[in-house]
Amino acid sequence: MLAYIIRRLLYAVPILIGVNLITFMLFFMINTPDDMARAQLGAKQTTPQMIEAWKVEKGYDKPLFFNPEASGIEKIEDTLFMQESLKLFAFDFGVSDANRDIAEDIKERMGPSLAIALPTFFIALVTNISLALLLVLFRGSALDMGMMVIAVMIMSVSGLFYIIAGQVLFSKIWHWVPISGYEPGWGAVKFVILPVLIGVFAGLGAGMRWYRSIFLEQVNQDYVRTARAKGLSEIAVLFKHVLKNGMLPILTGIVVVIPSLFMGSLIMESFFGIPGLGSYTIDAINAQDFAIVKAMVFLGSVLYIAGLILTDISYTLFDPRVKLS
């Protein structure tokens, strides 16, 4: 087990290097350090000397991939790419264009992000599964059909619309909750409740359909028929057998996204003015702050890979047939 985890972690290294390579190419091959210097210093009256000075100051004066002037291993090590990626691997994200420590910012903003993402995730999970079980219990009935039609309709509406409509209804017309904002501690509840509800509702259509199809696949299995033949009630069959066996595909689907919850939701946070990582990313995109975008890309990839590893581990824990090797 431990050996397997270590091997998976080692396998993550080339992937992260690849991620760095992609972001590096995106930002440096087309937008050269010279361009960045010019953009930072302002387009007017920039002399070549000023650009050079800025590059030295920010550490952008090295060659991109290969340094012919250095010797030995330094030829590869003393380059912009290595310098930038090695820093990331140590979770040293540097400073943003506004001269703030990015790592510090991320730590600070993780809380509000989780305050939205975690409740949304768990409430959605419970709602979707219970509704799906209900539909499977009444499968083929008018209730099932009607709910499936509603599910397709929910899926066909842009998430942006739910947010705007929710804000108008609950905040502007009924004044139940403040329209946007955030405060730490228990005061956050009144700010968090609307985005969480909207998040749960927006995901209801797709979620319900997905869980329903998983359960339906189980319902037609032989062991369920045996259980029914034994005289178990339909409800007992659903909870004892179908739910239990359906947990496995559900687990693979959800464990992989759990670490990514830390990244927050871009749209939700920016609409509701939550100072989380999602709105941080959007602000960085709008301000074209490459340092922050790069840091968030790296963080996102690390969390995604963590999700993959967790999925594999949870498999061995819950499915005795799977042996990691």
Partner 1 sequence: MTITLLWTDMMVWLLVAALAVWGWILSRSPQIRKQWHSIFKSGIAMASAIVLLFYLFFALLDSVHMRFTVETHPGGGETSKSIHYEGDMVSLLDLLFKHTLSHTERTYSAPFATHEYAKSIVVDKNNVSRQVYLPLKYVHVPKGESVAGDIVKKSLFALFAGLLVSLLLIAVHLALKGRGTFVSKLNVLRRGETALPWRTAYVTFTLMLMTFVWMYLLSYHYHVLGTDKVGGDVFYQSVKSIRTGVLIGILTTLVMLPVSITLGISAGFFGGRIDDVIQYIYTTLNSIPGVLLIAGAVLVTQVMMDNHPQWFETTLERSDLRLLFLILILGMTSWTGLCRLLRAETLKISRVEFVTAARAFGVSKWKIIFRHIMPNLMHIILISVVLDFSALVLAEAVLSYVGVGVDPTMYSWGNMINQARLEMAREPMVWWSLFSAFIFMFILVLAANLFSDRVQTVLDPRNEE
Among 96, 120, 167, 218, binds partner 1 (CB under 8 A): 167
Question: Which is nearer to partner 1, 40 or 130 (by Cβ)?
Answer: 40
> Considering only 25-33, 68-76, 182-190, 224-232, which stretch makes contact with partner 1 by CB under 8 A?
25-33
CA distance 124 to 298: 27
Asked if 311 touches partner 1 (CB under 8 A), the answer is: no
Q: What angle do CA 230, 236, 242 make, to 5 degrees?
A: 95
Tokens standing for residue 141: 């009935």
Nearest Cα to Cα of residue 133 among 61, 37, 213: 213
Question: Which is nearer to partner 1, 128 or 281 (by Cβ)?
Answer: 281
Asked if 305 touches partner 1 (CB under 8 A), the answer is: yes
> Considering only 18-26, 77-85, 123-131, 242-250, which stretch makes contact with partner 1 by CB under 8 A?
18-26
Asked if 13 touches partner 1 (CB under 8 A), the answer is: no
Q: Among residue numbers 245 through 274, which ones bind partner 1 (CB under 8 A)?
A: 260, 263, 266-267, 271
Question: Which is nearer to partner 1, 243 or 305 (by Cβ)?
Answer: 305
Q: Please say whether the beta carbons of 24 and 85 come within 8 A.
A: yes
Q: Please say whether the beta carbons of 318 and 247 come within 8 A.
A: yes
> Considering only 103-111, 133-141, 153-161, 230-238, which stretch makes contact with partner 1 by CB under 8 A?
153-161
Q: Please say whether the beta carbons of 128 and 204 come within 8 A.
A: yes
Asked if 285 touches partner 1 (CB under 8 A), the answer is: yes
Q: Running DSSP on this structure, what letter comes out for residue 135?
A: H
Long-range contacts (CB closer than 8 Å, 24 or more residues apart) made by 96-102: 96/284, 96/289, 96/291, 96/292, 97/40, 97/287, 97/289, 97/291, 98/289, 102/291, 102/292, 102/295
Q: Please say whether the beta carbons of 199 and 274 come within 8 A.
A: no
Among 66, 89, 122, 161, binds partner 1 (CB under 8 A): 161
Residues lying near partner 1 in the complex (CB under 8 A) are found at: 14-15, 18-19, 22-23, 26-27, 30-31, 35, 152-153, 155-161, 164, 167-168, 172, 260, 263, 266-267, 271, 281-282, 285-286, 288, 290, 293, 296-297, 300-301, 304-305
